[in-house]
Chains A and B, each alone.
Chain A
Amino acid sequence: MTAASSAARDSGPTLAQRLRIRGLDGVTLLVVPCVLLAIALFVYPFFYGLWLSFQPKNGGAALTNYQRFFTEPFLSKTIWTTLRLALPVTLLNLFLAVPIAFRVRLMKRQRLLTTILVLPITLGTVLIAEGMLFYFGPQGWLTRTLMWLGVISQPLHVVHTYWGVFLSLVIAIFPFTFLLTLSYVTGIDPSLEQAAATLGASPAARFREIFLPLLLPGLAITFCLSFVQAFSVLPSAVLVGDPANTTRVISIAAYQAAFEEYDYSLASAIAMIMGAVQLMVVVVVLGGRTLLYRGPVAAAKG
């Protein structure tokens, strides 16, 4: 099909040859359906949303929605609430994932442990929230164990607070962060470490001087991809959080505007602000990455 259409499009052999030299032939056209789909389902709705956000529901100036967002603390505060959750969760997951990945790297049978650590991916935030309501609840196993051990005398206040959402996000996103980190760590050529060890570098020095510089660019990408997930937190913020107050994240604000007030214009404006904040964090992190070492980390892999 693609060969035929490219033949029909090209007017003569010279043009076809010229196009082929530039990399355009039947095979290249295979990318077209995918690009059209992305334009129809991602780019078009995005620009439609952008346009809609400048058309306030009750009339007025184009920037009314944005003005409203930044002047009403009830709305503008959600940016800070979301960042206060998403940034520490992402950083904590990275700090946990790196040492564990370094241990798992040395293991002969990584598969079982990796599977167990990846398991929460299948749970989804809803099941984790439901489990947390039980486990951390006043009658839950954790509370009972801690009270039995005498560590605490009052039940923990975890569920329906900031920390409930925090923990549920750590559990939900850790597997993803861990998998990415592990793949970066195992991608580093072990002979580099052996060379350093032969020259007498201590484990701490080997990590600081060899691994960290090689790992930082990968960790920056891991940070971005994990941050996206933490940033769009919706179900756990509602179910185990305090959605009216300390965990009223920006996606709740957007959802309420769209499906409770039916103000799609404001909802689109909030969605655009959300995307902008997210992309700003990504740009800052990836921008910092360009200052770091970029190059082959493994002789055999390139």
Chain B
Amino acid sequence: MIVSRTPLSTRLWAAAIWVLVGFFVLNLAGLIGSVVTSSFATRWLGTWLPAGFTTKWYFAAWDEFQLGDVLWVTFQVVGSVVALAGLFGVPAAYALARRDFPGKKAVLLLLLLPLLVPPVTYGIPLATVLYKSGLGGSLAGVILANLVPTVPFVVLVMIPFIEQIDPRIESAARVFGANTLKVFIYVLVPILLPGVLAALLLVLVRTIAMFELTFLVAGPGSQTLVVALYYAVFAAGVRAVQSIDAMAVIYMVTTLVWLIIALRFVNPTQIVARAKRSNT
């Protein structure tokens, strides 16, 4: 689009924006690079690069923070949240996309509110309720708390996706005698699968990174990786800083792998554009 006839001011403006992007990316790389370098460092005081490199901090972090347990808890929480969010969210999105019923606006508002209210605001009353009912600090409590923002997220992402599927495909299946179950298994599941996978991958990344809610609800045995990392940084001083960094790198790699998988399936701009249209 940009041809050589573009005026100087436009080119200067473009250059300024690229410098800005470069500056942001450079600092980001430096920030991540410091943590990664430190996690492999033997001793790093007052120099550009550490004195030597080692992988021992990864083993130290694994033992010190019981990372095996923490990763298992994270896996259980994230797996359950993803499955339940899909189970609750997708059928509701289907109903909201296909039917116009009285009170639909109220339902949409009910689902939009958890995304518009800061997690700490409903997290504290929710934590109180969960502790009262004996679920506070347990794995189930953490899973329930994480469902609050993720189910509405799945619904709002899926509604526009379902709306763009021609309802005549389902009608055609019904004309040929398929009942609801058969329509669901042979028609809807194959068509919806890409959208559902995309939404659930985003839920997965969100849940791994969800700090506030998990932090408020989790007990000693139900901390996910991000909360364990927070406590490690918060109570730093007693432990070698490198082993905390090793843990941070493990956390980053865990999320990064899933994000890259998600981005292979989803065009990030489109998924937000779809979510956007449902919000307006």
Contacts and interface: CB of A to CB of B under 8 A. Distances in A.
Specify whether A and B are partners.
Answer: yes
Interface of A: 2-3, 22-31, 33-35, 37-39, 41-46, 48-50, 52, 96, 99-100, 103, 106, 110-111, 113-132, 134-135, 139-142, 144, 171, 174, 179-180, 182-184, 186-187, 203, 217-218, 221, 224-225, 228, 231-232, 234-235, 238-239, 251, 254-255, 258, 264, 267-268, 270-272, 274-275, 278-279, 282
A202 to B, nearest CB: 8
Given A42-B114, A126-B229, A134-B35, A274 B120 contact: yes
**Secondary structure of the A side of the interface?**
helix
B147 A279 contact: no
B152 A182 contact: no
Contacts of B119: 232
Nearest to A132: B31
Residue with the greatest number of chain B CB neighbours at <10 A, chosen from A28, A38, A174, A225: A38
Give the 3 A-B residue pairs with the shortest CB-CB distance, closest first: A49-B125, A232-B118, A34-B92
Nearest to B111: A38
A2 B144 CA distance: 24
Nearest to A133: B233
A232 B121 contact: yes
B124 interface: yes
Given A26-B180, A31-B95, A34-B88, A275 B276 contact: no
Contacts of A122: 205, 209, 252, 255-256, 258-259
B31 A232 contact: no
10 contacts: A31-B91, A34-B155, A35-B92, A41-B147, A110-B269, A122-B255, A124-B226, A126-B230, A127-B35, A239-B233
Interface of B: 1-2, 9-10, 13-14, 17-18, 20-21, 24-25, 27-28, 30-35, 38, 45-46, 48, 88-89, 91-92, 94-96, 98-102, 104, 107, 110-111, 113-129, 144-145, 147-148, 151-152, 155, 180, 205, 209, 211-212, 215-216, 226, 229-230, 233-234, 244-245, 248, 251-252, 255-256, 258-260, 263, 267-270, 272-273, 276, 279-280
